[in-house]
Structure 1
Amino acid sequence: MSDEALIAISKRPKAELHLHFEGAAPPSFIRGLAKEKNVDLSGIFREDGSYDYRDFVHFLSVYEAATSVLKTPEDFARLCTAVLEQSAANGVVYSETFLSPDFCGGGDVGAWREYLAAIREAADHAERTMGVTLRGIVTCIRHFGPEQAKSAALCAAETADDWLVGFGMAGDENKGKQRDFAYSFDMAREAGLKLTSHAGEWRGPQEVREAVDDLRVDRIGHGVRSIGDLAVVDMLAEKQVTLEVCPGSNVFLGVYGSLAEHPIDQLRKRGVKVTVSTDDPPFFHTTMEKEYGDLARCFNWDASVFDDLTRNAIDAAFCDDQTRETIAKKLELS
């Protein structure tokens, strides 16, 4: 594939379904905020200014340290603008982002409403000025435990509307079982929210099956380890459970040794609905343009494949039908 073709593919308009709000914070934004608040976060940055961590568990610690300077609704509104500037610069037209009430008001519904209002106001302004549409998905944090997850689910249920559209689970996949969080997922479902859960990033295919069977999710965050059991892969295809795949993240964290070893192409060819996202882009030194270019180069995907991926994302988006139709027109999808 020529350089011109790769550039054209990387510049295509995009939809992203798996983006951690705080994890998308540019390091420069966090450093600036820490300086304003006289907080020393020097230990979480490398000399070049990027985030510094050793492995996935340490990454979670650094992530939470960076998040610690985000204290007020105004901080989160400013973060929203910084994140959407990066999304717009990479051709993202529609994005869904994971928001945690644990970081926005400590799980208190009243405080959460204030944070959410500030974020939404910034998102609405960005849509008018940058052309990128954002929707929110509340996430509980798996390693915080099932009881704390109930507070996040209550926050989600109390604020579900046409902007706050989903509920999910993030955090350390090696803690507990998917079914431990069934109460919270049932609460969110009853409130009309669509569901997703991180599964099959670190644990194997059975984790993916349990997320589908025990939590009845509409989508799976990552899900790539399902490739280890073709029966699980075929189940995903049959049930049309969409995978929010983050190839650059998976390679950077060592889930796979290289992009060539990544199963996204195998999953796609087996009939699974796959999409492409960046996860925590500044942490993993990636962008949506880089993801597109790397995938095109590695798997020799042409524009039609990326049209399919984008169509998958829009079909699986948790937004209302009117928003879906509007975004599809922007993306020139039929």
Structure 2
Amino acid sequence: MSWRSFPKAELHLHFEGAAPPAFIRGLAKEKSVDLTGVFDERGSYAFRDFPHFLQVYEAATQVLQTPRDYQRLTRAVLEECAENGVIYAETFLSPDFCGGRDLHAWRDYLHAIQEEADRAEREMGITLRGIVTCIRHFGPDKARETAICAAETAGDWITGFGMGGNEAIGRQGDFIWAFDCAREAGLRLTTHAGEFGGPDSVWQAINDLRVERIGHGVRAIEDPRLVETLAETGVVLETCPGSNVTLGLYRDFASHPIARLRDAGVNVTISTDDPPFFHTTMTREFEALEQAFGWTADDFAELTKTAINAAFCDEGTRARLLKRLEST
């Protein structure tokens, strides 16, 4: 069957990383920005490995210079999501890219993004919420500034705080201040771990940052005690199988540990991470998982329900999303 219209909830989506290449090329042309090396001969994002991916990602974001640019980006991203049946998405937003961590500038960017997201919800039926993220390889001091931006704009739309970036730099515990600041502001917490970092990075995220969700987290499969802990505590993994396969963590979808983690009682969800970079969509993720593991509509409904229940949204929004899922 085609999974395109099946209702989906995505919890792990990098905002700039979801920008269609044609959108970025168009902005670059408008602004006369040279993006040599960012795209391959087919017009897709070009990168060799994860460190190079981060460089290309940050190079592409240089064309996103104003709140209006981010408003247009919001429309482009949500159109792609809605076309693939996504009814709810949470996206990682960074004040590092939106105003250089200046609170007044961040508010302007945020207003533009939210205004377009509200319009998209009315017109396309897709709900978006924001998770403010600090960038790990920018260091703990800048993470503090990002956390203050998050705390000052926490509410019904900015509902979470997290961390992305290069897992090879520093430790989760280096960022305790930023996560404590966000927690005190009422924000719910997630962080990238267990992708290029091993199981120890997941232990750090749980013990040092006390998060309730882990971005990726798939290398937990290498530590049986950690798998048991995740299952017992209910910590949710924001798994992104297509991303992991493209970046070489696993040979193919059949080798990916999402099914083994799920069978062990771990709460897993499905997301695309940076979809155009990894040539994926939520529809393609569902198709590949069906082919790899024989999952059915009941399996995907259960996975989507897990994502909705783990979403950093208010209870009214959650009830509405569950009702939409149950009506399919």
Q: TM-score, normalised by structure 2?
A: 0.99
**Which whole-Å CA distance do the structure 2 matches of 1:211 and 1:43 have between them?**
34
Provide the secondary structure at the position in 2 that maps to 1:63. Answer: helix
Map of 2:180 onto structure 1: 186
* Cα pair 1:140 1:168 within 8 Å, conserved: yes
Q: Deviations over 1:162-188 (max 9, x none)?
A: 000000000001110000000000000
1:129-208 equivalences under 5 Å are: 129-208=123-202
Q: Output one character per residue of 1:113-148: Cα deviation in whole Å (capped at 9) or x when no partner.
A: 000000000000000111100000000000000000
The correspondence for 2:232, drawn from 206, 231, 238, is 238
Equivalent residue, structure 1, for 2:209: 215
Q: Which deviates the most, 304-313 or 267-276?
A: 304-313
11, 36, 43: which one pairs with 1:42? Answer: 36
Query: Residue in 1 aligned with 2:115?
Result: 121
* C-alpha separation in 2, matches of 1:333 and 1:233: 33
Report the secondary structure of 1:58's partner residue.
helix
**For the residues of structure 2 that align with 1:187 and 1:203, how far apart are their CA atoms?**
25
**Which of the residues 46, 49, 68 maps onto 2:62?**
68
Displacement after TM superposition at 1:42 (Å): 3.0
Q: Report the equivalent of 1:288.
A: 282
Give me the whole-angstrom Cα distance separating, in 2, the residues matched to 1:229 and 1:305.
Answer: 25
The 8 Å contact of residues 311 and 333 in structure 1, kept in 2 or not, is answered as no
Secondary structure at 1:49 match in 2: coil
- Unpaired runs of 5+ residues, structure 2, are none
**SS of alignment partner, residue 180 of structure 1:** helix
Secondary structure at 1:254 match in 2:
coil
Give the Cα separation in 2 of the matches to 1:118 and 1:295: 36
Identify unmatched segments of 5+ residues in structure 1.
none
- Provide the C-alpha distance between the structure 2 equivalents of 1:217 and 1:85, rounded to a whole number of angstroms: 30
| Per-residue deviation, residues 254-292 of structure 1 (Å, max 9, x unmatched) | 011111110000000000000000000000000000000
Letter in 2 for 1:110: H
Q: Secondary structure at the match of 2:37?
A: helix
Among 184, 207, 224, the alignment partner of 2:218 is 224
Equivalence for 1:53: 47
Runs of 4 or more off by more than 6 Å in structure 1? none
Distance 1:49 1:10 in 2: 24
Rounded to whole Å, the distance in 2 between the matches of 1:61 and 1:290 is: 26
Aligned to 1:25: 19
Identity of aligned pairs, percent? 64
What is the CA–CA distance in structure 1 between the aligned matches of 2:274 and 2:289, rounded to whole Å? 18
Corresponding residue SS for 1:105: coil
Does structure 1 residue 274 correspond to structure 2 residue 274?
no
Q: Is 1:109 aligned to 2:142, yes or no? A: no
Counterpart Cα distance in 2 of 1:214 and 1:39: 41
Indicate the SS of the match to 2:279: coil
CA displacement at 1:11 relative to structure 2: 3.2
Aligned residue for 1:153, secondary structure, equals helix
The offset of 1:333, in angstroms, is 6.9
Report the count of equivalent residues.
328
Q: What letter is aligned with 1:168?
A: G
CA distance in 2, matches of 1:234, 1:308: 20
Aligned to 1:324: 318
Looking at structure 2, the residues matched to 328 and 219 of structure 1 have their Cα atoms a distance apart, in angstroms, of 20
CA distance in 2, matches of 1:333, 1:112: 38
Compute the RMSD of aligned alpha carbons.
1.0
Q: Secondary structure at the match of 1:198?
A: strand
- How many angstroms apart in 2 are the aligned matches of 1:156 and 1:329? 30
1:175-213 C-alpha deviation (Å, 9 max, x unpaired)? 100000000000000000000000000111111011011
- Which residue pairs with 2:291 in the alignment? 297
- Residue number among 247, 253, 265 corresponding to 1:253 in the alignment: 247
Change (3 A) 1:267 1:333: farther
Contact 1:10/1:293, CA 8 A, preserved across alignment: no
SS in structure 2 of the partner of residue 214 of structure 1: helix
Q: Contact conserved, 1:18 with 1:221, CA < 8 A, in 2?
A: yes
The one-letter code sitting in structure 1 at the alignment partner of 2:220 is S
> Which residue of 2 is the match for residue 79 of structure 1?
73
- Within 2, Cα distance between the matches of 1:114 and 1:138? 15
